[in-house]
Structure 1
Amino acid sequence: MNDPLPPLRDVIARHDLAAKKSFGQHFLLDLNLTAKIASFAGDMANSQAIEIGPGPGGLTRAILGAGARHLTVVEKDARFLPALEEISAAWPGKVTVLEADGLTIDEATILSGENRVILSNLPYNVGTILLIKWLQAQPIWWRRAVLMFQREVADRVVARVGDKAYGRLAILTQSVCAAQLVMKIPAQAFTPPPKVESAVVMLDPLPDGTRFDDLKALGIVTASAFGQRRKTLRRSLGQAASQTTASTEELIAAAGLEPGARAETIDIAGFQALARAWRAARATQP
């Protein structure tokens, strides 16, 4: 469907929509770029889509133009609601506008059906928090997430063992999803331009039975291990071990890892084994 609305710059000027640094807002105005981002969601003809932090609606319009069956936009900044309602009027029956905080909503109850997708240019100050929230959902309610982050964060999401960016975020994400960096976006594409590049990550949940189902335990052992990433596991896992009946050495042995290894050399399966060992030792506490 052709976009029936005026250019985004005109919309922003008419509604006096300046980006707020406190909300981590940067507007992507190039509709060719937003259309490319929306295309990574695949065929959305039967999809219920959700977008967090749509701002003036650049990506919103691209998602609708890509044929989403229905789109729910969640915006906490009331200044953008009139512009979003104009989009809703231009696509009758296809858009629900919610004035709410994406950190506190229950997306699984807002969206109906099985074919649910997340597409968002995430505000820089809450992007990682929202990602963790969606990873922790039990059961996973979304079939794909197409998310834009600061480039540094995107690199951390998709990093593999041995990469400089490999750490806690990669392990948590890839224990639940297949993760790909699919697009890089220069700072100059945004208004106002941020100080860093951005990148789009595509996440597909792993099949049932292969996703790691205890992100709390995994989060604890990775936070401990990478909190002192230059130290060996023998020296860095003390905080995690202190929450169990096991010693650090016993946890490492139960996971089949080497005490002298450093966190950045342990693959995701190794950390999952460590999380299972932590949970088992935790369960034996009186």
Structure 2
Amino acid sequence: MTDLPPLREVIARHGLSASKALGQNFLFDEQLLDRIAAIPGPLRDRAVLEVGPGPGGLTRALLRAGARVTAIEMDRRCLPALAELGEAFPGRLRVIEGDALKIDPAGLFDEPYAIVANLPYNVGTALFTGWLSGEAWPPRWSSLTLMFQAEVAQRIVAQSGEDAFGRLAILAQWRSQARVAMKVHRSAFTPPPKVMSAIVHVTPQEAPAGVSMKVLARLTEAAFGQRRKMLRQSLKGVAGALDALDGLGIDPQRRAETLTVADFVNLARTLTPTAGTQPG
């Protein structure tokens, strides 16, 4: 591996600055970046997808760990710096210019891959929910290691009864295991964001049988769209939901945040059409 110039020097040489419009915040601390790259486990010769690499701080750490990195970057200003990084690690870095929201990562790989990213704050949740929402399971990705605002990270790992518990927690936990792997102080970034950050690590688990992702999504959207209302009110627009509550012995006067992930899975299973039937 060629010794690389400090990232601050690369950014200065290319005249780069973090774009507020693109939700960018740069990380320069190489020890911190190496710790992030270690969260998904050994990466030597593993395929990794990185979204929003910017000037390549985390990319460097992933490459140092031995990964083969595919990076999606829509900020053309960062491409020359990434090209230099690719030259320092021949054959190990593929850069795709484009919008990650419009690119299916599964089409970029013919092997399992890990996703590791300091996600731009303005699109992080949308990307996360997209990666978790496929009907086919297990997914092609082996794990997600993602930087979020600390508030969003808490919503992902929240448990029933907590204020942060909602649709994001159910999506992340009903067929995956999600945990906060590391907290990152705002002062670690340039420029410092107004909020603290945290890294969430998600690994897929066996999906509960007989449950449609679309049905679960419809249920949680209705239940948490009016989260302060009782279930009998928030779910009345979902065909069969009130009967399903009764059949499962769930009090319709409860509110959505008091149910567990398993409760929502059981409700969705009850409402998921069996083979040969059509949804009502």
Kindly report which structure 2 residues correspond to 1:17-28, keeping only aligned pairs within 5 A, or say none. Answer: 17-28=16-27
- Does the CA contact (< 8 Å) of 1:181 and 1:201 recur in 2? yes
1:63 paired residue number: 62
2:223 paired residue number: 225
Aligned AA (1:52): V
Kindly report which structure 2 residues correspond to 1:39-188, keeping only aligned pairs within 5 A, or say none. Answer: 39-68=38-67, 70-114=68-112, 116-137=113-134, 138-139=136-137, 140-188=139-187
Q: 1:5-50 CA distances to partner (integer Å, 9 max, x unpaired)?
A: 1111111111111111111111111111111000001011231001
1:104 CA drift (Å) = 1.3
2:232 paired residue number: 234
Secondary structure of residue in 1 paired with 2:223: helix
* Distance change in 2, residues 1:23/1:48 (3 Å): same
- For residues 251 and 120 of structure 2, the distance between their equivalents in structure 1, rounded to whole angstroms, comes to 39
CA-atom RMSD in angstroms: 1.8
* Distance change in 2, residues 1:43/1:27 (3 Å): same
Secondary structure of residue in 2 paired with 1:143: strand
- For residues 78 and 254 of structure 1, the distance between their equivalents in structure 2, rounded to whole angstroms, comes to 55
Matching of residue 264 in structure 1 with residue 257 in structure 2: yes
- Does the CA contact (< 8 Å) of 2:211 and 2:268 recur in 1? no
1:35 paired residue number: 34
What 5-or-longer segments of structure 2 have no aligned partner?
Answer: none
1:112 CA drift (Å) = 2.3
Aligned AA (1:130): L
- For residues 42 and 204 of structure 1, the distance between their equivalents in structure 2, rounded to whole angstroms, comes to 12
- For residues 175 and 29 of structure 1, the distance between their equivalents in structure 2, rounded to whole angstroms, comes to 35
1:189 paired residue number: 188
* Distance change in 2, residues 1:210/1:278 (3 Å): closer
Q: Output the TM-score relative to the length of structure 2.
A: 0.93
1:63 CA drift (Å) = 0.5
- For residues 30 and 212 of structure 1, the distance between their equivalents in structure 2, rounded to whole angstroms, comes to 46
